[in-house]
Amino acid sequence: QLQMQESGPGLVKPSETLSLTCIVSGGSISSNYYWAWIRQPPGKGLEWIGSMYYSGRRYYKSSLKSRVTISVDTSNNHFSLELSSVTATDTAMYYCARHVPGRDYFDSWGQGTLVTVSS
Amino acid sequence: SYVLTQPPSISVAPGKTATITCGGNRIGSKSVHWYQQKAGQAPVLVIYYSRERPSGIPDRFSGSNSGNTATLTISRVEAGDEGDYYCQVWDDGTEHVEFGGGTKLTVL
């Protein structure tokens, strides 16, 4: 059974770069899926950040595109998120998820990691 | 961007039927997916491709999609069904994933 686990700092200073990693176990990150990041500000709804296929095809939310990089490490079976120039509005629970081919639904999610942007 | 509209909240008595709608322009032509998120937990897929149930999801959960409205129906509602429910689509025009704003289901 696929398991996904986010890791990274829980506190990031304004203007710095948020970096998170999602470790995938029970399945290969080189399989026919996209790998995605989704966030949820406290008390609010879900916001898709972007998705990436292991071979390189990426889709990013337009409003975040200038600040976001998603990358895949096939050797270590994990993928990562970098979000630059963060502000308090980037404070959220960040989830990694597996995105079924055809850019459709998310069938497996990590438990999430809370990132707070504060000085 | 493609906008999905959900009612913020609904309340249902145990044993009754909960109906959660997701409105969008010609949403009937899209595949709609639904997630359940219980308090403090990650979302869980409950319906995909508008009406398909993943393994392990009770058959009390069903979906439909036509015209400008997709619907998630939960029959014989139980206390454990409480939580937030989100609809989601892929928009081919913008190549974006879009989520609805979510509906909080309260079991009375």
Distance in angstroms (rounded) separating the CA atoms of residues B34 and B41 = 16
The mean pLDDT value for B32-57 works out to 97
User: How confident is the model at residue A101, as a pLDDT?
Assistant: 82
The mean pLDDT value for A1-27 works out to 97
Please tell me if residue A109 touches chain B, with a CB cutoff of 8 Å.
yes
User: How confident is the model at residue A5, as a pLDDT?
Assistant: 98
Here the tokens at position A70 are 């998603």
Residue B46 CB contacts under 8 Å (≥ 6 apart), including other chains: B34, B35, B36, B53, B54, B57, B61, B72, B85
Per-residue pLDDT tens digits for A43-77: 999 999 999 998 889 999 999 999 999 999 999 99
The mean-pLDDT minimum among A4-8, A35-39, B89-93 falls in B89-93
* pLDDT reading at A91 higher than 80: yes
* pLDDT reading at B13 higher than 70: yes
The mean-pLDDT minimum among A50-59, B10-19, B98-107 falls in A50-59
User: How confident is the model at residue A111, as a pLDDT?
Assistant: 98
Confidence of residue A103 (pLDDT cuts 50, 70, 90): low
Min Cα–Cα distance to chain A from B41, Å: 7
Out of A51, A105, A109, whose CB is closest to B33?
Answer: A105
Strand partners, A10: none
Interface with B, mutate which of A39, A44, A46 (most B CBs under 10 A): A46
Distance in angstroms (rounded) separating the CA atoms of residues A33 and A52 = 9
